Amino acid sequence: MSRIGVFVCWCGENIGRTVDCPAVAEAARRMPGVAHAVDYKYMCSDPGQQMIIQAIAEHRLTGLVVASCSPRMHEPTFRKAAARAGLNPYLCEMANIREHCSWVHEDRAVATAKAIELLRVMVEKVRHNEALKAVSVPITDRALVIGGGIAGIQAALDIADAGHDVILVERAPSIGGHMSQLSETFPTLDCSQCILTPKMVEVAQHPRIRLLTCAEVEAVSGYVGNFEVTVRRKARYVRLDRCTGCGACWNECPVKKIPSEFDEGLGLRTAVYVPFPQAVPNKPMIDTENCLRHKDARRKGIPVTESKVCGKCEAACPIPGKAINFADADELETVQVGAIVVATGFQTLPAAAIPEYGAGRFKDVVTGLQFERLASASGPTSGEIRRPSDGRPVERLAVIACVGSRDPAKGCAYCSKICCMYIAKHAMLFRHKNHHGAAHVFYMDIRAGGKDYDEFVRRAIEEDGVDYLRGRVSRIFERGGKLVLFGSDTLVGEKVELEVDMVVLASAMVPQPGVQALAQKLGVAYDQSGWLTEAHPKLRPVETAAAGVFLAGTCQGPRDIPETVAQAGGAASKVIGLLSRDTLDREPIIARVDERVCDYCTACIKTCPVKAIGTKELKNRQGVLLRRVAEVNAGLCIGCGTCVAACRPKAIDLAGFTDAQLFAEVRALGDFNDIEGRECDGVPHFGPAGCIAGQSVKSGGLDSHPTDAGMEREKHG
Amino acid sequence: MPAEGRQLEKLRHLARHALESGAVSLVIGFAEGTVPGRAAPLFCTAPADADRLIFDGYCTLNLANYLTRPEVRAHQTVALVARHAVAKAVVGLVQESQVDPTRVRLIAIHCPDLDGLQQDVAWTVADGLQTLDEFLPTAAHLHDQELTPERFAAVAQVESKSSHDRWDHFAREFDKCIKCYACRNVCPLCYCERCIADKNQPQWIDTSSTQRGNFAWNIVRAFHLAGRCIDCGACERACPMDLPLMELNRKMKKVVAERFGYVAGYDPKADLPLVTFKKDDPEEFIK
Ligand SMILES: Cc1cc2nc3c(=O)[nH]c(=O)nc-3n(C[C@H](O)[C@H](O)[C@H](O)COP(=O)(O)OP(=O)(O)OC[C@H]3O[C@@H](n4cnc5c(N)ncnc54)[C@H](O)[C@@H]3O)c2cc1C
Ligand code: SF4
Ligand code: SF4
Ligand code: SF4
Ligand code: SF4
């Protein structure tokens, strides 16, 4: 005989305003199996939990129902309270009378009646609950960090410094990300490379970090604590174990006019190349698109090892046995990790998306990143601001804010957040480098929230004399070797026509193209714009919906370096917390197969999204195979219930949500006996205990009247 | 000897030879029934049994049904006298791991059209005992006939009704059901040892002969065969109360073909459309 305790929570006014909580408790006392029912202002508070703990002992309760908020909110709270009182936590359930009831209804009587029904359903469920034991699984003490920008670098270092192994997977030939391209960084104007390079070197030298560059995640399986990740290591054609980065090869490479990605197309590189001098690893790779030998092999349709063309790099390589390796091929490597940090960063809106400003058409209309390269001491102009078209110095500069950002038509409804700051930086840097030059900024609003940020923008305006014009530029065209801007200054209400030498576009930050495919592999959600989504925007900002997968940096949304680093540290601390444990308790909400009933149709095996179901062979004592049945791996099952739905004979059941429990719940919903004065609503229910339309369950039994009122209504309604 | 007689001789010869050579230990075919116009299944284990084999338009049972019976499973290799629908059912059973294709042989009977059940239809027996893989290419052309509008004439008629009339139609038809489960028992793909209709703890499917129970059974039966039913018609022919079961089966077949581009019974390696999990499933029905 069950002795169930019911605890009805007011949630202050949240529930109490709309639901008559004492009446709900009163109704609960009359429900079969309920031994004790009370209501209280805040069940989750300390006194509330104490009430539960005391009642369990006093009334020898065998199960609990807390009628309050969503189980997502407080199920762990109340289950822990139950456990403290010595009751198996899985004998505690919650009836959600807040989100599902008080928050969505206004009529007190109706809401109260519904709360009673929701409660009745859970009481029926608990009557069929069984004690469950958490599944304990070992944890792989190793983390995977995907993306080696400042976010990934910081996360990897923090995790490794705490004593855990890290595999850092970077798609590009070097780590560093966008930060390595920046000249100086707001708000302090320290040189980006100078503060980043030491961290990059630390990554390379850290005994606990394994760095895989030119690598991407191919497939992910497993679950928190035990992921199995397949990494594709792309052919680099240079043996990292042999190469010393001496540079003999790239000095000899005859293909010298390839636009450099690192310099945003403003500088040139060779076909065998190191992306930038401070690259980590500081070793080259061969760009197969442009390498003469690869081109020849492609044209002839032969393996590249059989081509005799060029090969100057190989000849120049001074290493015995050669570090250049034309026989290199992509490799797939499978690694086991316990936690994953996604730090894949951002891109800026491509020029093709902003035709109105002539980006890509007019050479002297440059992007913010191109300007960073021009301003960088290690950049293609050694830090002098010169025009890409003719190399002449820039006398008059215009910077346009919000290019694409806050513009739903461009698919970027959001604010890119960093541009207000870096355009001030750009204008300021320009003025520092050219004291006679003029800098104009076209802006919509200035959003410079942050420590020393507004001061930074003020400095640009007040000390460096940057001309801030509030208004949009409508059009840019070329006239006599100059760029002419048409726009407006909305503060003075005048049209503006400005002739300048160069225009910088603060183009919007956008997610990495293709990051959605990676997110799908990881089970991480993304929003409409493609930014990866955190588990809770306020309270779980670095977690994702996929347990064990965390976010760091701009893959989650636009942000600057300080914020990126802080978030990376946050993600790292979550990973460290996870990896510091030996085992992980997993919810025992897992599927189980009734071997007597299973026909081995394999439907469950094929539908299980995490491949948790395998085959078990049933043999007799002589070892002769009798038949095969499905078998669930408790360590892998995530309790999604897909298999239960797929199994036709219902040979699979989900612990904690068994057929018997769900059936009892449905039955309870169909029971109208307890609701005073409640008449059948005339809608026929096909459920097992459903009402027979037009009659009450009490009087009607299972006699059917196929063409009664309810069906008429369904037919004509 | 008339053409039909020659084909029958060939059929018996193949069966006899298959048993004599030890290629199979059981041949399942048809013998004369006890009443005229009926054929009964025949289980031949000795070569001489083959002489009792017949084949005609009355041989409508789907013999693949027997492959999942324990007595038949006990045989190492079994041959089936298989018109097209029987072979299609074998495909389904292979897809669902119920039958090991290396342990089944077909004595294939070809009819000019998909069903080939009419009395005067000319049928021929394929040369030699075939494996499923050998058989499949010889019947691939029939795929084109699976979705011809004529097959869906009855479905179209039901579809053209108002929802009100449709409800009445099915209420009337299901009302005739006496829960004999003959439809289930003859269906080669209804092989579950314990049908959900027989589950009583808890009992999801109401087994009472009420409208609710009749709807529950007939709808669940059709749903459990969605994307799996190979359109053999055995259930409808078996029904003693003449329920138009193929209306539901073919409606399902049509929806599955439209939604998933899939017709059951042709590819033993294909994924069943309702038994796959795809992360990138557009799930349009939810939006
Ligand atoms: C013009 C400009 C100027 C800026 N100036 C400043 C400034 O002055 N101060 C400041 O604080 N911030 C500035 N920022 C912002 C700063 O660049 C970013 O906040 C920072 O770089 C974000 O770092 P991240 O690691 O998140 O991303 P990223 O730097 O983009 O790094 C992501 C890394 O992940 C790798 N990757 C991507 N996808 C994959 C994959 N699938 N598998 C493996 N690896 C992958 C990429 O190759 C890259 O190395 C500026 C930004 C711009 C555009
Ligand atoms: S779906 Fe059900 S019957 Fe089929 S293999 Fe899985 S448990 Fe067994
Ligand atoms: S509940 Fe079933 S389908 Fe879901 S993960 Fe577990 S075994 Fe797989
Ligand atoms: S064969 Fe006909 S009467 Fe029998 S259970 Fe099936 S539908 Fe009902
Ligand atoms: S449901 Fe009927 S038509 Fe379909 S396979 Fe089964 S017996 Fe044949």
Q: Is the peptide bond before A198 cis (omega within 30 degrees of 0)?
A: no
A38 and A51 Cβ atoms separated by less than 8 Å:
yes
B194 half-sphere exposure, CB direction, 13 A CA radius: 15
Q: Enumerate the β-bridge partners of residue A144.
A: A167, A340
Q: How far is the CA of B104 from the centre of ligand 2 (A)?
A: 23
Which ligand is closest in space to the CA of residue A565? Answer: 1
Query: Please, which pLDDT band fits residue A220 given cuts at 50, 70 and 90?
Result: very high
How much is the ipTM here?
Answer: 0.93
> How do strand A473-479 and strand A482-489 relate by DSSP bridges?
antiparallel
Instruction: Measure CB to CB from residue B275 to each of A596, A603, A651 and give the nearest one.
Output: A603
Ligand 2: which atom is nearest the Cα of residue B96? Answer: 4
Say yes or no for a CB contact (<8 Å) between A649 and B191. no
Task: Report whether pLDDT(A80) > 80.
Answer: yes
User: What confidence category does residue A98 fall into, taking pLDDT thresholds of 50, 70 and 90?
Assistant: very high
Q: pTM here? A: 0.70
- Ligand 3 atom closest to the Cα of residue A604 is 3
Per-residue pLDDT of chain B (287 residues; tens, 9 = 90+): 567 788 999 999 999 999 999 999 999 999 998 888 889 999 999 999 999 999 988 898 999 999 999 999 999 999 999 999 999 999 999 999 999 999 999 999 998 877 777 666 788 999 999 999 999 999 999 998 999 999 999 999 999 999 999 999 999 999 999 999 999 999 999 999 999 999 988 988 988 888 889 999 999 999 999 999 999 999 999 999 999 999 999 999 999 999 899 999 999 999 999 998 876 676 676 65
* Nearest CB to A688 within list B167, B203, B224: B203
Whether A223 contacts A548, CB under 8 Å: yes
Output the pLDDT for position A707: 37
C-alpha closest to that of A221 among A503, A682, A546, A555: A546
Identify the pLDDT of residue B282: 66
- Tell me which residue has tokens 């038509």: A409
The answer to whether residue A670 scores a pLDDT higher than 80 is no
CA distance A261 to A264: 5
Helices (H), A493-613: 515-522, 561-579, 603-607
Residues of A in Cβ contact (< 8 Å) with B202: 659-660, 663-664, 688
CA atoms within 13 A on the CB side of B137: 3
Q: How far is CA A627 from CA A292, A598, A601, in A?
A: 61, 10, 12
> What would the mean pLDDT of A73-80 be, rounded to a whole number?
94
Of A356 and A178, the one with more pLDDT: A178
pLDDT of res. B119: 67
Identify the closest residue of chain A to B165 by CA–CA distance: A715
A:566-625 residues touching chain B, CB 8 A cutoff = 596-597, 599-603, 606-609
Q: How confident is the model at residue A585 (pLDDT cuts 50, 70, 90)?
A: confident
- One-letter amino acid of B26: L
Q: Calculate the CA dihedral of residues A302, A306, A308, A311 and round it to 10 degrees.
A: 110
- Residues A388-407: tens digit of each pLDDT: 999 999 999 999 999 999 99
Q: Which tokens in the block code for residue B63?
A: 């013999």
Smallest Cα–Cα separation from B136: which of B91, B103, B188? B91
pLDDT of residue B2: 66
Tell whether the model's pLDDT for residue A690 goes beyond 70: no
- Chain B touched by A666 (CB under 8 Å): no
Mean pLDDT across A643-653: 96
Residue nearest to ligand 5 atom 4, measured at CA: B229
Q: What share of chain A in percent tops pLDDT 90?
A: 85
Task: Please give the C-alpha separations between residue A626 and each of A165, A387, A617, B226, in angstroms, as whole numbers.
Answer: 46, 80, 7, 30
Looking at chain A, the whole-number percentage of residues with pLDDT higher than 70 is 93
DSSP A416: -
Measured CA to CA, the distance from residue B184 to residue B198 in angstroms comes to 12
Give every CB contact of residue B119 below 8 A, 6+ residues apart in sequence.
B56, B57
Residues A550-556 have a mean pLDDT of 98
Q: Which residues line ligand 1 (CB under 6 A)?
A: A 146-152, 169-172, 177-179, 182, 185-186, 216, 343-346, 348, 368-369, 372, 418, 422, 425, 512, 518, 553-554, 559-562, 564
pLDDT tens string A405-456: 999 988 899 999 999 999 999 999 999 999 999 999 999 999 999 999 999 9
Res A56: pLDDT = 97
The band of A695, judged by pLDDT with boundaries at 50, 70 and 90, is: very low
- The residue whose two tokens read 């029934």 is B33
**CA–CA min distance B250, chain A (Å):** 20
User: Which residue bears the tokens 């309810």?
Assistant: A710
Query: Which B residues, 42 through 101, put their C-beta within 8 Å of a C-beta on chain A?
Result: 96-98
Query: pLDDT tens for residues A245-291?
Result: 999 999 999 999 999 999 999 999 999 999 999 999 999 999 999 99
Residues in CB range of A459: below 8 A, 6 or more apart: A428
Q: Please check the confidence at residue A353 and state whether its pLDDT lies above 70.
A: yes
d(CA B66, CA A321): 68
Count other Cβ atoms within 10 Å, centred on residue B98: 20
Q: Are strands A549-551 and A339-342 parallel, antiparallel or unpaired?
A: parallel
Residue B287: per-residue pLDDT: 54
**Partner residue facing A606 (CB), from B193, B210, B271:** B271
pLDDT at A346 over 80: yes
CB-CB: which of A642, A690, A704 is closest to B277? A642
- CA-based R_g, chain A, Å: 33
Which residue, judged by its Cα, is nearest atom 5 of ligand 5? Answer: B229
Full DSSP string of A360-405: TTBTTEEEHHHHHHHHSTTSTTTT--B-TTT-PBPSEEEEEEEEST
Q: What is the DSSP string of A288-303?
A: TTT-HHHHHHHHHTS-
Mean pLDDT of A311-324: 95
**How far does residue A593's CA lie from ligand 5's centre (Å)?**
27
Per-residue model confidence as pLDDT tens digits over A586-645: 889 999 999 999 999 999 999 998 888 999 999 999 999 999 999 999 888 889 999 999
In sign, the C-alpha dihedral spanning A109, A111, A115, A118 is positive
Confidence at residue B243, expressed as pLDDT on a 0 to 100 scale? 97
Would an 8 Å CB–CB cutoff place B3 in contact with chain A? no
Q: Is A648 on the interface with B (CB under 8 A)?
A: yes
Q: How far is B164 from chain A (nearest CA, A)?
A: 5
Least confident range from A103-112, A275-284, A372-381, B2-11: namely B2-11
The whole-number pLDDT of residue A410 equals: 86
- Distance, CA A521 to ligand 3 centroid (Å)? 17
- In chain A the domains, ranked by start, together with CATH numbers, are 4-132+663-669 (3.40.50), 142-226+336-345+514-583 (3.50.50.60), 248-329 (no CATH), 348-510 (3.50.50.60), 591-655 (3.30.70.3270)
Ligand 4 atom with the shortest distance to the CA of B214:
8
B191 CB neighbours in chain A (<8 A) are 599
